[in-house]
Amino acid sequence: MKPRLSLLLAVAIISASALAYEVLLMRLFSIIQWHHFAYMMISLALLGYGVSGVFLALNRDRLAQLFPSTIMANMLLFSLSAPACFLLAQQISFNPAEILWTPVQLLNLCSIYLILAVPFFFAANVVGLSLYHYKNHVSSIYAADLSGAGIGSIGIILLLSIVFPEKILALLMLSGIFATLLVSSYTFRDSKHWTTLSVIIALTVIFTPPGWMTLTVSPYKSLNQLLQVPGTKVIDRYSSPLGLIDIVKSEITPLRHAPGLSLNATTEPPEQLAVFTDADNMTAITRYNGNPETLGYLDQTTSALPYHLKQLAEVLILGAGTGSDILQANYHAIKHIDAVELNPQVINLVQRKYADFSGYLYSSAHVDVHVDEARGYLAATDKAYDLINISLLDAFGASAAGLYSMAENYLYTEQAIQEYLRHVRPDGYLSITRWIKIPPRDEPKLLATVINALKDANVRQPGQQIIMIRGWQTSTLIVKNGALSAEEISRIKQFCNERSFDPVYYPGISESEVNRFNIQQPPYLYQAAIALLGDQSQAFIDAYKFNIEPSNDDRPYLFHFFKWRTLPEILSLLGTGGSFLLESGYLLLIAALVQAILASLLLIALPLWLWKSKLGIEPGSGSHLRMLAYFFSLGLAFLFIEIAFIQKFILILHHPLYAITVVLSTFLLSAGIGSYFSANLSYRTEKPVFILPMAAIALLSIGYSLGFEAITEFLLKTGSLSRYLFSIVLIAPLGFCMGMPFPMALAKISQTSPELIPWAWGINGCASVISAILATLIAMQFGFTVLIFLAVGLYGMAAWCFPNSIRV
């Protein structure tokens, strides 16, 4: 029996909604909790797919007899559970900071991802049941699933751009009901009661007064902390896929946001409005009346140093945000400023909504604002600057607690530093300001990265071009495009003396100068700078208890400091307040992987052991193990390649959000087409036909991987539209081939032992969950290129398991 178009459409809608729900949950939990926990919860919730596989495998015949009812029930249950489970999960009081002290928090975390797994379970049932019911047309069902997911990945980004994230839950609910209506009206004609039920639920959702869905943000996030202060209130709220922005006004107590202010400062900031992204990461819009004298406090921070080294004319601010670096440049009467900011809503706030408050800062004649990603902007311009400035782009809290460890960051890689320096005029400066951490982590890592970048650019004595200073809260690293002069060194000393800052390094520094005002015991940063600039830098990096290996584009993890060797020592210090030393982001990823592996073992191995015959495996047959290996390898390899290519293409497409959307949707849509096309190959019996797509995947992946630098170089020279088009053209053939191996094997099984289809679906689900987490860990440790080669190896293994063997 061939599936009707209405059913395929309904499967696509459910898959689109499930993918949209996954992305939406990431956004919602990043707002109410923190990003790294959001990642962990959602990765594990996807195990709902694995559970579905086992559930279907054990109950397949009973469910197949009632196919129309079960599929519609699952569609409706997905619709209802998507918002309900989120509401329930956010009611669970979970505070990650207390995990070390209160074991019950772990239980709360587990409850959250078990609850969130429910909607994915129902969505997976819809696809799994359809695959089993239409066993002779698996390629069409799988094509609908993949294409739906591809459309979902674009749809959710569009929705997040126009609707507040909590409102999207209702829309997803309606889309699930619409899928049910589609099936009840067009696929199964005699199911009027399902139509009636769907209509009633849909009308209830539409006419329920808004407000039933409110977000319960953790009281420990900085937005809620500020809102405890009398007279504070949220005066504006904006949403985009890049984050939820809240603007807070404090009517009684002034805000006074001035991080890194010198201990000698006597002035305080003018009136400010606080701007929060995802209820955290506070920055401020400062009232500016055009009088630079009111900005004196900005000259009392370490980031002001370059303005004191010589007269600067052209300045580039990367990550301009709400404009404090521009105000700092204004204080120093800079003639022209280019300001680059990724988030257009932040620009809009300063440029339009609070233009009067901010003194029309972004509309000034000498300021040009660019909505772009830092490296993307630089790749497309040939302008050169006296100063390129990058200051405090991440909030102290998250940066200090090691939460960003798994977040890729292309701003601080060797290649990025080289790119910045190419745009610095001779004798100009690159200045990077960061939070002080004790003991230091990102500062020595950044220093090692800068030194490597200079060495790669054939600078013989990097130490002649580097300056670093520190206050009690921030440090500033300056790289000059040329050797530093005696005059500049004397100005550094004067600047530091006047503000009670300490020099960390400049050419010719002596140890007696480095620890006078902000005493570190020992002077960690000075020791690191001297060691990293010396002959034994690699030995220093190896011996350091945190990972301070230079970051590069293949391993762009500036914030990954974890070293296994140090773990026992840190664990022994947990009771004495040493929990902040724990690089929790990385450990959580490991914990998520362990849990995903254990859950997968439970879901795959346990049923295999207990209910072998119930699964449909004949006694004495051993080839099901090869089938297991086949589908497991495919599940791992698909996401390895997908994740590696998303990361590689971020560099070409610049904007992480657009890159993820374009690459993911191209992969999924072309894989959907590939799956549909695979039906033509599945009828053939010769072995090479089955291996063909996998051979093509291997060839294309290795080819792209080896030629990636050339591809990047070529694409970066082309225009924006052509970069996107070329990327799609490059990815689509790979995705097309990647969509084939799964349905081809399912088609083969459907001829020999169709009862194993749900089991295969479950194996694939479990492998995908493990794959997403494992891919990140492998990339952090070995880089994206290794990840791609591993994926090719896994496809090779799948090819080896495929031929003739799937007869159980």
Partner 1 sequence: MKRVKHLIFWLVVIGVILLLFSTHVIAEDDFHRQRYAMVNIIKGEVTATREFLNQESLDKRVSDALENVPRHEFVPDNERPYAYINRPLSIGFGQTISQPYIVAIMTDLLKLKKTDRVLEVGTGSGYQAAILAELADSVYTIEIIEPLAIRAAANLKRAGYNTVHTRTGDGYYGWEEAAPFDGIVVTAVASHIPPPLIKQLKPGGRMVIPVGAQFMTQYLVLVTKDVDEKITARQILPVSFVPLTGKH
Please report, as ranges, the residues that interact with partner 1 according to CB under 8 A: 95, 97-98, 101, 219-220, 224-225, 228-230, 252-254, 256-261, 263-268, 397, 400-401, 436-440, 472-473, 500, 516-522, 524, 527, 531, 534, 536, 539-540, 543-546, 569-570, 573, 575-581
Q: Which is nearer to partner 1, 261 or 593 (CB)?
A: 261
Min separation Cβ 276 and partner 1, Å: 14
Cα dihedral value 320, 325, 329, 330, nearest 10:
90
Min separation Cβ 326 and partner 1, Å: 19
Distance between CA atoms of 302 and 308, rounded to whole angstroms?
11
Min separation Cβ 88 and partner 1, Å: 22
Task: Count CB-CB contacts under 10 A for residue 238.
Answer: 17
Distance between CA atoms of 91 and 85, rounded to whole angstroms?
10
Helix residue ranges, H only, 605-719? 606-610, 612-615, 624-653, 656-682, 687-706, 708-716
Distance between CA atoms of 584 and 105, rounded to whole angstroms?
15
* Cis check: omega of the bond before 550, within 30 degrees of 0: no
CB 488 within 8 A of CB 310: yes
276 forms beta bridges with: 246
Pairing of strands 367-371, 336-341: parallel
Pairing of strands 367-371, 280-286: unpaired
Q: How far is CA 799 from the centre of its chain?
A: 32
236 forms beta bridges with: 247
CB 85 within 8 A of CB 118: yes
Q: Which is nearer to partner 1, 101 or 212 (CB)?
A: 101
Task: Count CB-CB contacts under 10 A for residue 293.
Answer: 8
Q: Which is nearer to partner 1, 418 or 527 (CB)?
A: 527
Distance between CA atoms of 804 and 703, rounded to whole angstroms?
29
Question: At 84, which amino acid appears?
Answer: A
Q: Which tokens in the block code for residue 396?
A: 């102290």
Min separation Cβ 298 and partner 1, Å: 12
Tell me which residue of 1, 163, 179, 213 sits closest to 79, measured CA to CA: 179
Pairing of strands 314-318, 336-341: parallel
Pairing of strands 502-505, 336-341: unpaired
Strand order in the sheet with 280-286: 232-240, 243-250, 272-277, 280-286
Min separation Cβ 397 and partner 1, Å: 5
CB 269 within 8 A of CB 358: no
CB 582 within 8 A of CB 30: no
Angle of CA points 370, 725, 742, to nearest 5°:
125
Task: Count CB-CB contacts under 10 A for residue 32.
Answer: 21
Q: Which is nearer to partner 1, 291 or 521 (CB)?
A: 521
Min separation Cβ 580 and partner 1, Å: 5
- CA count, 13 A, side-chain hemisphere, 118: 19
Q: Which is nearer to partner 1, 100 or 702 (CB)?
A: 100
What are the C-alpha distances in Å from 770 to residues 20, 197, 385?
20, 37, 46
Task: Count CB-CB contacts under 10 A for residue 196.
Answer: 11
Min separation Cβ 519 and partner 1, Å: 4
Q: Which tokens in the block code for residue 427?
A: 């004798």
CB 374 within 8 A of CB 430: no
Pairing of strands 466-470, 314-318: unpaired
Distance between CA atoms of 517 and 497, rounded to whole angstroms?
9
Min separation Cβ 576 and partner 1, Å: 5
Distance between CA atoms of 667 and 670, rounded to whole angstroms?
5
Q: Which is nearer to partner 1, 220 or 782 (CB)?
A: 220
Q: Which is nearer to partner 1, 293 or 487 (CB)?
A: 293
Residue 77, φ and ψ in degrees, nearest 5: -65, -35
283 forms beta bridges with: 275
Q: Which is nearer to partner 1, 292 or 397 (CB)?
A: 397
Q: Which is nearer to partner 1, 136 or 527 (CB)?
A: 527
Buried b / exposed e over 144-183, threshold 16 CB at 10 Å, is bbbbbbbbbbbbbbebbeeeebbebbbbbbbbbbbbbbbb
Q: What is the DSSP letter of 352?
A: I
Q: How many residues does the chain have?
A: 808
Q: Which is nearer to partner 1, 538 or 752 (CB)?
A: 538
Q: Which residues, 6+ apart, have CB-to-CB distance to 279 below 8 Å? A: 31, 32, 217, 218, 221, 222, 223, 224, 244, 246
Q: What is the CA radius of gyration of the chain?
A: 28
Min separation Cβ 544 and partner 1, Å: 5
